[in-house]
Amino acid sequence: MQLTDYEKAMLNGDHGAAKARAMDLLVRYGQALGAERLVETRNVAGAFNASTPSVKAIVEQGFDAVYSELNLDSDEVVEIPRVVVNTTQLITGIDNDNWRVQGVEEPLIRMQRASEQFLGERGINPCATCTPYQVGVVPVMGEHCAWMESSAVIYCNSVLGARTNVEGKESTGAAALTGRIPYWGYHLTENRFGTHRVHVDIDVDDMKDWGLLGYYIGEVVQEDRPVLTGKLHHPSMVKLKHFGAAAASSGGVELYHIPGVTPEARTVEEAFGPHQPVGTIRYGKAERRDAWEKLQSATDRKVDFIMLGCPHNAIEQVELVAHLLRGRRIHPDVALWMHTPRAIKQIADRAGYVEIIEAAGGVVMSDTCPAISRRVPEGVRVIATDSAKQAHYLPAIAKVQGWFGSVQECVEAAISGEWQGGL
């Protein structure tokens, strides 16, 4: 792999042991990928936080040891310096405020808070969300990034037009300390053109339909790059967030184009660049029903847990839930958890939305989600969610049955305790 003089100096330890370990990792990783060089990145979003029981033993050796082992893959414990680029902590395992509701033991929350302190002293911003782009971490078009988390990666590539592969704890840990990441995959223009055309024959407008469309497309194209045309109503950030999260769940989509909407595809021709589509997929009523049926893993209509906010909710989504719950009472046998970034929760708090949701019996969570924390209310058997991604993962993770529907259907199920949703 070709390295610049500065990169060689980091590798040789001229800039300290931590950067040497980071460069060593990036070179090994880049060679395994077949990358010929590294590229400068100014934007890293990773998982640095210590919030799970499995890391307790390492924490006893100090947080330098946690970073060394988990974020640099280093047997040697090195002192971690300040990061050199804008670096964000993604979602964590524990809600710093509602940890008791999650059933988290006190030593674990103390560990997470101490971990955040350590990271903050080194310049890692504790945004604690899978949607950093909703709280001010917004790379510009063409910017090289090192991001983890599939729903964040597909948003970064497709909607922002920035460039990232799905990175891991180790590569983001090394990128934060060096400002470098292997130059391969979606960093290269030639890998960013569309592969399949998806023509949508039915109106796709609300969030539920964008989720269903994403879920269908992900399953069909798997890791390829769909280009969407047809009867799509101009989507909002929230709808594209749900669409991408769904496509990255049923498949491994990391980049898509919607001509006239996403920035790298002003036209269909631009979306495919020098290539011809390998095929055209039609999406109509039958395909929509197919996606919807695959997302219903429940048969029992008596629900006991409503999960909202996957990916983490935007302020307009929090407002909608507050509006739907205002003056009402959630069924005593049902728990409703809604998830949003901690920064958005502050706004929701000031606006009175949190109070309305709590008065109805719901909980507004931040920092985590059930799929990451692997924690749901005790005794839960049947969940309902407005997220195709959560409907895909949570039943298997939490051993529960799941219903997927609109946010309105989920809120009505919270009130009545009965799932009445449908197509």
Regarding 21 and contact with ligand F3S (CB under 6 A), the answer is no
- CA neighbor of 27 nearest in space, from 11, 14, 6, 12: 11
Least gap, CB of 149 to ligand F3S (angstroms): 6
Rank residues 11 and 376 by Cβ distance to ligand F3S and give the closer one: 376
Over its C-alpha atoms, the chain yields an Rg (Å, rounded) of: 22
Place of tokens 């290269």: 188
Tokens of 119: 């990271």
How many other β-carbons are positioned within 10 Å of the β-carbon of residue 14? 11
Among 20, 38, 91, 298, binds ligand F3S (CB under 6 A): 91
Q: DSSP character for 133?
A: G
Question: What is the rounded CA–CA span in Å between residue 419 and residue 383?
Answer: 9
Q: Which residues on adjacent β-strands are paired with residue 54?
A: none
Rank residues 18 and 371 by Cβ distance to ligand F3S and give the closer one: 371
Rank residues 144 and 389 by Cβ distance to ligand F3S and give the closer one: 389
Task: Give Cα 94 to chain centroid, integer Å.
Answer: 16
Tokens of 299: 């048969």
Place of tokens 């969570």: 365
Site string for ligand F3S, 242-281 (x = CB under 6 A): ---x------------------------------------
Give SS3 for 226: strand
Amino acid at site 232: L
Question: Applying CB under 6 A, which part among 208-216, 271-279, 293-301, 310-318 lies near ligand F3S?
Answer: 310-318
Task: Give Cα 190 to chain centroid, integer Å.
Answer: 25
Question: What is the rounded CA–CA span in Å between residue 355 and residue 349?
Answer: 7
Among 21, 288, 312, 392, binds ligand F3S (CB under 6 A): 312
Among 130, 217, 365, 413, binds ligand F3S (CB under 6 A): 130
Least gap, CB of 266 to ligand F3S (angstroms): 29
Q: What residues numbered 361-400 form the site for ligand F3S, per CB under 6 A?
A: 369, 371-372, 389-390
Question: Applying CB under 6 A, which part among 80-88, 109-117, 157-165, 304-312 lies near ligand F3S?
Answer: 304-312
Regarding 211 and contact with ligand F3S (CB under 6 A), the answer is no
Among 173, 179, 194, 311, binds ligand F3S (CB under 6 A): 311
Rank residues 371 and 411 by Cβ distance to ligand F3S and give the closer one: 371
- CA neighbor of 115 nearest in space, from 171, 195, 51: 51
Backbone angles phi, psi at 399, to 5 degrees: 55, 50
Least gap, CB of 332 to ligand F3S (angstroms): 26
How many other β-carbons are positioned within 10 Å of the β-carbon of residue 142? 12
Binding stretches for ligand F3S (CB under 6 A): 91, 130, 151, 245, 310-312, 339, 369, 371-372, 389-390
